[in-house]
């Protein structure tokens, strides 16, 4: 997938129409009461980001967000505002060429019916329709984590992209949430939710390293609801630091998620963090705080050369 071009005018009309809607419910942005077959990862052999006449040098960008509990509003932010910022800013500022967006919704493989939902890679407004089909299950359980590593496993084993195959350059993968990192995946979870014939469990580190062969992987930890001294925030943050290193991003305001993603890509491609953040007006200080410690232009892009 990945043909067509993004139409900002159509997106703005959609965003305006959905601005006053609640996030979920029969009149909301998200009306699904169960997982749509089109977003079910079970049995998906592959999701493709391919070059085309419209996108001659496509760059795959995956955004996987926690949609459990209060984080369900993240999907609403992306639908009402974030997709427009992501596409328009990347097309205007050109940190990478021809973005192909994939959206993933993340839940809890121990508790949820749908711990992972996945769109196609899209280069145009069709991504809005797929995002709007997401089921905001909103469960997540009380086990102090969500299954972010499902995103990594799926990306590693069920996506391909021409950016790597033709140009030796990896794509970008972002997970977003406010919970600690998960403990890894059991073989029964992999079989049940992805229909893979896994013969063993996969550790969190294995899932991450497999995804890093195809993507520069980042996690954005949302501080919403936490104070700097909060044990909850410090505990969650510490679990991510040990795995992500410099690719962990702490974001104080999830309304600036899309801007932070764009600036992260710009920094990884070599732009100074302060210069990138300055373009976000009133959100500049928040975006700079989130991105200032990222390695500038240092994210390795070649297959087999894993990131930090």
Confidence of residue 235 (pLDDT cuts 50, 70, 90): confident
Location of structure tokens 């129409």: 17
Which whole number is the average pLDDT over 261-284? 96
- The whole model's pTM is what? 0.93
pLDDT band of residue 133 (cuts 50, 70, 90) is very high
Tell me: pLDDT of 143 over 90. Answer: no
In the DSSP assignment, the letter for residue 114 is -
pLDDT higher at 226 or 107: 107
List C-alpha distances in Å: 225 to 56, 253, 290: 43, 10, 17
| pLDDT value for 141 | 54
- For 126, the 3-state DSSP assignment is helix
pLDDT at site 226: 47
Phi, psi of 267 (to 5 degrees): -65, -45
> Is the CB of residue 63 less than 8 Å from the CB of residue 261?
yes
If one looks up domain 8-291 in CATH, what number appears?
3.40.50.410
**What per-residue confidence (pLDDT) applies to 74?**
87
Q: Is the pLDDT of residue 229 over 50?
A: no
Instruction: Give the pLDDT score at 3.
Output: 74
What is the helix (H) or strand (E) element at residue 172, kind and residue range?
strand 171-177
């Amino acid at each position: 997938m990945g043909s067509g071009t993004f139409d900002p005018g159509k997106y703005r009309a959609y965003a305006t129409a959905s601005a006053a809607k609640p996030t979920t419910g029969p009149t909301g942005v998200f009306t699904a009461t169960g997982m749509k077959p089109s977003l079910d990862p079970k049995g998906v052999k592959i999701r493709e980001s391919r070059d085309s006449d419209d996108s001659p040098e496509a760059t795959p960008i995956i955004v996987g967000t926690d949609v459990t509990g209060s984080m369900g509003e993240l999907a609403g932010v992306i639908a009402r505002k974030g997709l427009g910022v992501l596409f328009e800013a990347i097309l205007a500022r050109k940190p990478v060429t021809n973005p192909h967006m994939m959206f993933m919704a993340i839940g809890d493989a121990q508790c949820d019916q749908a711990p992972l939902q996945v769109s196609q890679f899209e280069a145009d407004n069709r991504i809005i329709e797929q995002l709007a089909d997401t089921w905001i299950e909103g469960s997540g359980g009380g086990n102090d984590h969500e299954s972010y590593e499902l995103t990594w496993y799926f990306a590693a084993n069920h996506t391909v992209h021409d950016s790597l195959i033709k140009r030796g350059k990896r794509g970008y993968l972002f997970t977003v949430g406010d919970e600690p990192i998960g403990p890894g995946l059991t073989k029964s979870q992999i079989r049940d939710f992805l229909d893979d014939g896994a013969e063993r469990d996969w550790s969190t580190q294995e899932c991450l390293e497999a995804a890093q062969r195809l993507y520069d992987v980042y996690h954005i930890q949302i501080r919403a609801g936490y104070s700097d001294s909060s044990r909850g925030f410090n505990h969650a943050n510490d679990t991510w630091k040990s795995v992500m290193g410099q690719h962990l991003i702490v974001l104080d305001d999830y309304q600036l998620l899309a801007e932070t993603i764009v600036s992260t890509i710009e920094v990884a491609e070599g732009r100074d963090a302060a210069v990138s953040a300055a373009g976000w007006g009133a959100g500049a200080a928040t975006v700079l705080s989130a991105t200032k410690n990222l390695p500038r232009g240092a994210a390795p892009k070649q297959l087999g050369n894993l990131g930090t």
